[in-house]
Amino acid sequence: MSGEAKTGFLQRLRARLTPKGGSIGANLARLFGARRIDAEALEELETRLLAADVGVEVTEELLEGLRKRVARNQLSDVDALLAALRDDIAAVLAPVAKPLVVDRAQKPFAILVVGVNGSGKTTTIGKLAQRFGRDGLRVVLAAGDTFRAAAVEQIGIWAERTGAELVAQATGADPAAVAFDALSAARSRGADVLIADTAGRLQAQAHLMEELRKVRRVLGKAAPGAPHEVLLVLDANQGQNALVQAKMFHEAVGVTGLVLTKLDGTARGGIVLAIARQLGLPIRFIGIGEGADDFGEFDAAAFARALVDGSSDTRDT
């Protein structure tokens, strides 16, 4: 992503993470103005963090650090409090802000994409293909959701749109066989990246989770070390349920990276902190809309600013 495109993405992130009632920072500034920070201000901040789905554990961690600095007279007003909050949130997120790096020595670099129904898997796959294509990589898409004919059609549309090649079989085919054939085809065609779709499933559907394990095993037999990335796509609108999903999928197939989608449609952006603290899984990308440019690498400092300040702060990151 170019510098100009990144700046535009970050500005949209700030705008779309802002709840209708205003950002955390704007509301605190409106309520407490220039007065000194006291217990009432910290209680209000706690309420707003919990409302943003930051979670009890991370909220208490953040508040404890802020209380200590208030007691030491290090935070005199709302501006100082918000600056400290941004820094502390960024510190929580920094360890998981790890971009996806395609290992050129692994050819094809195999990415298995998993998630529940409606999480945005297909759109994520399309945007990844578009991104890799712009980087000059040759991409093969595997239509591994064989339960729905529409899923194959959707992947096919993205393949045409992005210049990727498509490997698909008839509806009802064995998803593991599709993945195996796609990896073999990608290797024979000299492709750089294979992105394998899977059927959306609820984390509690044991037989479908076992099917995912089979797909993973088959890819590993087709190429040592494959899949090289297991991307879990999570809908941020799910709030705390997204955390449950992440735990279950990680236990089942060993998730190596996360994509958080639909952050434009939720006031629950704080769930990212809960996921970061409890799971420690790398967050590769976030999605803030359907547009091609509404998808970007996760940036801890930029996300912290967007969560706290929303669209009220348009400075570059």
Residue 165 has pLDDT above 80, yes or no: yes
Q: What is the pLDDT of residues 228-283, one digit of tens each?
A: 999 999 998 887 888 888 998 999 899 999 999 988 765 568 889 988 998 999 99
Provide the Cα torsion 88, 94, 60, 286; round to 10°: 110
- Read off the pLDDT band of 118 (50, 70, 90): confident
DSSP-derived secondary structure for 223-278: STT--SEEEEEEEGGGTHHHHHHHHHHHHHH---EEEEE-GGG-S-TTHHHHHHHH
Provide the Cα torsion 259, 91, 34, 45; round to 10°: 60
Which residues does residue 286 pair with via DSSP β-bridges, in sequence order?
260, 296
Which residue do the tokens 């991409």 mark? 139
Which are the contacts of 282, defined by CB distance < 8 A and separation ≥ 6?
Answer: 96, 97, 98, 256, 257, 258
Least confident of 22-31, 47-56, 171-180: 22-31
Domains of the chain listed by start with CATH number: 3-96 (1.20.120.140), 109-298 (3.40.50.300)
Which residues does residue 297 pair with via DSSP β-bridges, in sequence order?
285
67 burial type by CB count under 10 A (0-12 exposed, 13-18 middle, 19+ buried) = middle
pTM for this model (two decimals)? 0.89
Find out whether the peptide bond into 227 is cis, omega within 30 degrees of 0. Answer: yes
Q: What is the pLDDT of residues 80-114, one digit of tens each?
A: 999 999 999 999 999 999 999 999 999 999 999 99
pLDDT reported for residue 26: 84
Residue 174 has pLDDT above 70, yes or no: yes
